[in-house]
Every structure is written in structure tokens, then in C-alpha cells.
Structure 1
Amino acid sequence: MGDRIVTWPNALSAARLLGVPVFLWLVLGPRTATSDLIAAGILGLAGITDWLDGKLARMLNQQSRLGALLDPAADRLYIAATVIALAVRGIMPWWLFGAIAGRELIVAVALLVLQRRTVYGALQVSFVGKTATLCLMYAFPLLFLGAHSGTTAEVVRVLGWAFAIWGIALYWWAAMLYLTQVRDLVRESGMEGAATS
């Protein structure tokens, strides 16, 4: 993993981060059908660029430490902003916000433990975690568009809930995998410390 900053994957992650305030303004500001459609498009684009930046990093051999931080940060920020905005608008129930926020809190505490007790700074991103993020990135724009009236909106809403339920289940499964990683790394670090003392 290199120290390069200016790479295509990093540019995509940075663009995703810049889209968060625009999305929030569109959802919480104008509240028109057009602004909702543009906001859903931004969410869809965020999901595509999330997949694309990882693909480009591997294809162009442009993995970097900055990219390893930017990509999950952009994912988490989008998920947090979307869940809060959709809950404020009444499109998504607050229990779903609680399920996602609770998972993030548990993983954040685990990362703090990891940083304090070992030399490891980050966890290996799992396929389950990436799949969970992708499901949620599909769920949010579908739930958003499904909040309008009509038969099409109802079908879209059902699809959105299907992705949301799968996404939440996979999100918590990924959290359990991360907690297992933290436990193993802390235990391994403790054994190494005991062996050298």
C-alpha cells in the first residue's frame, strides 16, 4: 500500500465526500419532486463510485493509505447523512437509524480498543461489509423514491425495504467479523508482549 495522494480512486472518494452536503441540502431544503430525484441520483452515483474506486485501485495498482481511510469514511458519512435525512423527512423509521448508529458505535469502540492495545491502526475490510454498504446504498435511493405516491413508487418502496433489511443484516454480520478481528489482534498483541517481556 503506497503513500500516493493523487489517484483516481482517491479522487472518486473525495468527490463522494463533497456530494454529502449537496445531498443533505436537496433532501432537507427544497423538498420538491425535482430535488428529491436529484438527491436520489446523487445517492445512486455514490453507490456506483463506491464500487468503482475499489475496482480502479486494484486495476490501476493505485491502492494507498489515504484511499484506505477515505473510502470507508465516505461510505459511513453517506450512510449517516442519508439515514438522518430520511428519518427527519419521515421516510425511514427511527429504529433503522438506531440499528445503524448502534452498529457504528460498537465498531468505533472496537477500533479505539485496537489502537490502544496494538500497533494495528485499521481493520481489513470484509466482503460482507462492502456488500452491506452496497445494499444500503441501493436501499436509500429506492426508499427515497418510494416515498411518493403511485403504484410504481410502491414497488420501488418494497425493493428498497428488501435491500434495507439485507443491508442491515449484513452490516451487523460485518460488525461481528470486525469484532472478531479486533479480539484476535488484541490477543495476538498480548501474547507477543508477554513473549518479549
Structure 2
Amino acid sequence: MSRRPAQAPDAGPPDRAATQSPGGAHGVLTLPNAISLLRLLGVPLFLYLFLGPRSDAVAVAVLAVGGSTDWVDGYVARRLGQVSRLGELLDPLADRLYILATLLAFTLREIVPWQFTVALLARELLLAVRLLVLRGYGYGPPPVHYLGKTATFVLLVAFPVLLLADAVPATAAVAGAIGWAMAWWGLVLYWASGVLYLVEARRLIRAARDGAQHPRTAP
């Protein structure tokens, strides 16, 4: 995902449009957006396979593909010059839906303890409140931080490994150890990125308040 360039110290309060990355002029029907939509379609497919017929092997494959292709849509968008606002919204949406769907399914199947699920959901709730507050100040969703993308990738790799450990008892010792090591590390990174998002939101809100109290006049 594209990053907003840093402002000079004397540049004044950031423009609210600056929280929205450029590239929105591109059309909706682009290859990166199609990849993101395909990733989104994998979410209900995974839930059906995992909670319905319990085809765990196929569910592992769907989850692994959905997680490992997390970076593909953004990479293709940059390579083809097809970065769009829709794509920048679809990409993190797909990531969050994969994580939430997996947590729900794993908790129902008792693969993941509810405490782990609550820890991840609490972070999502906190950032949802942050987004609502930012919208109140006229800001759109800020760009995704690389640490958040890293945390998401680690979690989306950890979940298929944990599922493999549960579905194939012969791999439980090794796959379980690897899966939980990655899951806990992903949780730490997930919260670390959440703190960075909150710090950025605080900076934007403070700038908006300063701008409202001390509006600049045209020279």
C-alpha cells in the first residue's frame, strides 16, 4: 500500500484528504481489485468447508491460499499502476474478514481458546472506534502500516498450521508448536500496530483541533 509522505515541521495541520492515498482515479474493474474480490470469496468458502462438511484438508488449502496471497493484490496494483481507493479498502477488508472468520470458526471448533480470540477482537473493536472518531473529524481510513500488514500475514500463516495440527494428529507436535509460536507473535505485532494506528489518529485529531482553533488566513 502507498504511504503518505511525511510533512515538513512547519507545514501546518495535515489536510484531511491526505489520509486517503492517491490513485482513486483508476477504474473499479482492475486486476488487483479482481484478486481482492477472489480473496473475499474465499472467506465464506472456508467457513462452509470448515463448519459444514468439515472438509479440513480443503479448508486448510483455502485458508493457506487466502493468507499467502495477502501481498499479491497490492504488488500487482503498484506494478501495473492500478492503485485505486477501492483496492486500498478491499485489501485490508479481506485481511480482517479472513482473521475474524478464522477466529470464529476456530473458537467454535475449540482449536483456539476464547482468550486468544478476545485479545484479537479487542484490538479490532478499538480500531473501529478510532475510525469512527477520525470520520467525525473529516478523515477517511488512514493508509495501512507495514507493521499491521506483517502482523496480518503472520496470523494468516499461523492459522492454517494450527488447523493442520488439529486435522492431522501425526503433525500435532511440530505443527502445533510452530503454529502457536507464530500465532502469539502475530498477536503481539497486531497490538503493536494497533498502538501505532492510535498514535497516528491522536496526531491527526490534535492537528484538526489546532486548525479549528487557529485557522490560517490567506496571505
What's the TM-score once normalised by structure 1's chain length? 0.94
For the residues of structure 2 that align with 1:75 and 1:50, how far apart are their CA atoms? 7
Deviation, 1:153, is 2.7
Letter in 2 for 1:168: L
Indicate the residue corresponding to 2:189 in structure 1. 170
- The answer (yes or no) to whether the contact 2:56–2:167 under 8 Å persists in 1 is no
For the residues of structure 2 that align with 1:149 and 1:16, how far apart are their CA atoms? 25
- Percent identical pairs in the alignment equals 50
- The answer (yes or no) to whether the contact 1:115–1:121 under 8 Å persists in 2 is yes
Letter in 1 for 2:153: L
For the residues of structure 2 that align with 1:154 and 1:189, how far apart are their CA atoms? 52
Deviation, 1:51, is 1.1
- Structure 1 runs of 4+ off > 6 angstroms? none
For residues 12-71 of structure 1, what are the alpha-carbon distances to aligned partners after superposition, in whole Å with 9 as ceiling and x for unaligned?
Answer: 11011111111001111112xxx1011111111111221111111111111100001111
Max Rg structure? 2
Indicate the residue corresponding to 1:2 in structure 2. 24
Indicate the residue corresponding to 1:22 in structure 2. 45
- The answer (yes or no) to whether the contact 2:57–2:167 under 8 Å persists in 1 is no
Deviation, 1:149, is 4.9
- State the number of aligned residues: 193
Q: Secondary structure at the match of 1:96?
A: helix
- The answer (yes or no) to whether the contact 2:46–2:59 under 8 Å persists in 1 is yes
More helix, by proportion: 1
Letter in 1 for 2:36: S
Q: Secondary structure at the match of 1:62?
A: coil
Indicate the residue corresponding to 1:127 in structure 2. 146
For the residues of structure 1 that align with 2:110 and 2:79, how far apart are their CA atoms? 41
Deviation, 1:136, is 0.4
Q: Which has the higher contact order (CA 8 A, sep 6+)?
A: 2
Within-5 A mapping of 1:38-53: 38-53=58-73
Pick aligned residue for 1:69 from 66, 74, 89:
89
For the residues of structure 2 that align with 1:48 and 1:147, how far apart are their CA atoms? 20
Structure 1: runs of 5+ lacking an equivalent: none
Structure 2: runs of 5+ lacking an equivalent: 1-22
- The answer (yes or no) to whether the contact 2:68–2:157 under 8 Å persists in 1 is no
What's the TM-score once normalised by structure 2's chain length? 0.85
Within-5 A mapping of 1:174-185: 174-185=193-204
For the residues of structure 2 that align with 1:195 and 1:131, how far apart are their CA atoms? 39
Pick aligned residue for 1:190 from 192, 197, 209:
209
- The answer (yes or no) to whether the contact 1:13–1:49 under 8 Å persists in 2 is no
Within-5 A mapping of 1:129-168: 129-168=148-187
